[in-house]
């Protein structure tokens, strides 16, 4: 049985102690560090940019999962690569030529991932699913941490799992938004591989333990 992978989202960390937050993730059972880039246009918020991601990459021992909540993310493939990202996550809604962007991420030596907002149907990935290494399903409308989980995401995970099976794609399924110990078990049952968690991890008294609790979840058959 494959273990659930956890990607703590630094958005919920104390930014005055970012280094300590990265250290915590390094020492925890997390598989990735999730970094949220926002441009104030695609989403109504602005967060971290490339200089900060570069600094994080110098002390991170876990691979970076960079979630680009920006208009036309294809403009930034080179800059994300220069930050040492493993996954570059682009929103399907933000790309006019999604297939070209995915290919340019791959050519840059990163693993391409496509993100879908809650209102975007899984079916739109039909003709691109075999080109991507990961699909990130948003379980909140992107822009802010600490929002409530949208439960219809569970059916989307099931539909995505089915699409992956039908097409023989190797894509991993990641879910982001409102993930905690209450919402995570059903996501894992539905077929999620990677759970992004911000507030649940960083607001916990023992963040590394919160990561471990998510990581030990396995599908209840």
Catalytic residues: 36, 176
User: Residue 145: which of Zn ion, ligand DX5, none does it interact with, CB under 5 to 8 A by kind?
Assistant: ligand DX5
CB of 150 to Zn ion, least distance (A): 14
197 binds ligand DX5 (CB under 6 A): yes
The pair of structure tokens assigned to 115 is 């993100």
Size of the site for ligand DX5 (CB under 6 A): 21
| Nearest to Zn ion of 57, 89 (CB atom) | 89
Least distance in angstroms from the C-beta of 176 to Zn ion: 4
Of residues 53 through 72, those in contact with ligand DX5 by CB under 6 A are 67
Regarding 36 and contact with Zn ion (CB under 5 A), the answer is yes
Nearest residue to 77 (alpha-carbon basis) of 37, 49, 105, 107: 105
Question: With CB under 5 A as the contact rule, which of the stretches 58-66, 79-87, 105-113, 175-183 interacts with Zn ion?
Answer: 175-183
Q: What share of the chain is helix, strand, coil (3-state, %, to 5)?
A: 40, 20, 40
Q: What single DSSP character describes residue 77?
A: H
CB nearer to ligand DX5: pick between 44 and 170: 44
Q: How far is CA 218 from CA 11, 94, 165, 215, in A?
A: 26, 33, 19, 8
| Residue 88 β-bridge partners | 66, 112
Q: Does 62 bind Zn ion (CB under 5 A)?
A: no
Binding positions for ligand DX5, 5-34, rule CB under 6 A:
9, 11-12, 34
Q: To the nearest 10°, report the CA torsion of 83, 89, 91, 92.
A: 120
CA-to-CA distance for 198 and 180, rounded, in angstroms? 9
- Chain residues 145-184 in contact with ligand DX5, contact rule CB under 6 A: 145-147, 176-179
User: What is the nearest approach in angstroms of Zn ion to the Cβ of residue 196?
Assistant: 5
Q: Which stretch binds ligand DX5 (CB under 6 A): 24-32, 72-80, 126-134, 141-149?
A: 141-149
Q: Please report how close the Cβ of residue 86 comes to Zn ion at its closest, in angstroms.
A: 15
What is the rounded distance in angstroms from the CA atom of residue 76 to the CA atom of residue 49?
Answer: 11
Q: What is the DSSP string of 195-213?
A: EEESHHHHTSSSHHHHHHH
- Distance between CA atoms of residues 217 and 185, nearest Å: 7
Go through the chain and tell me how many residues it has: 221
Site residues for Zn ion per CB under 5 A: 36, 67, 176
Site residues for ligand DX5 per CB under 6 A: 9, 11-12, 34, 36, 67, 140, 142-143, 145-147, 176-179, 196-200
């Amino acid at each position: 049985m494959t273990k659930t992978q956890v990607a703590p989202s630094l958005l919920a960390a104390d930014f005055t102690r970012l280094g300590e937050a990265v250290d915590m993730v390094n020492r925890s059972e997390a598989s990735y560090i999730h970094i949220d880039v926002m441009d104030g246009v695609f989403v109504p918020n602005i967060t971290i940019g490339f200089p900060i991601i570069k600094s994080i990459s110098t002390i991170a021992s876990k691979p970076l999962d960079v979630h680009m909540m920006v208009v036309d993310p294809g403009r930034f493939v080179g800059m994300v690569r220069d930050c040492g990202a493993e996954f570059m996550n682009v929103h399907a809604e933000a790309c006019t030529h999604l297939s070209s962007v995915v290919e340019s991420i791959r050519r840059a030596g990163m693993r391409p991932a496509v993100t879908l907002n809650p209102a975007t149907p899984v079916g739109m990935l039909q003709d691109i699913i075999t080109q991507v290494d990961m699909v990130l399903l948003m379980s909140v409308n992107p822009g802010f941490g600490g929002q409530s989980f949208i439960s219809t995401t569970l059916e989307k995970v099931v539909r995505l799992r089915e699409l992956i099976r039908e097409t023989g794609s190797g894509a991993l399924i990641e879910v982001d938004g409102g993930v905690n110990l209450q919402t995570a078990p059903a996501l894992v049952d539905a077929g999620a591989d990677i759970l992004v968690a911000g507030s649940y991890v960083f607001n916990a008294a023992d963040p590394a333990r919160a990561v471990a609790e998510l990581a030990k979840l396995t599908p209840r058959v």
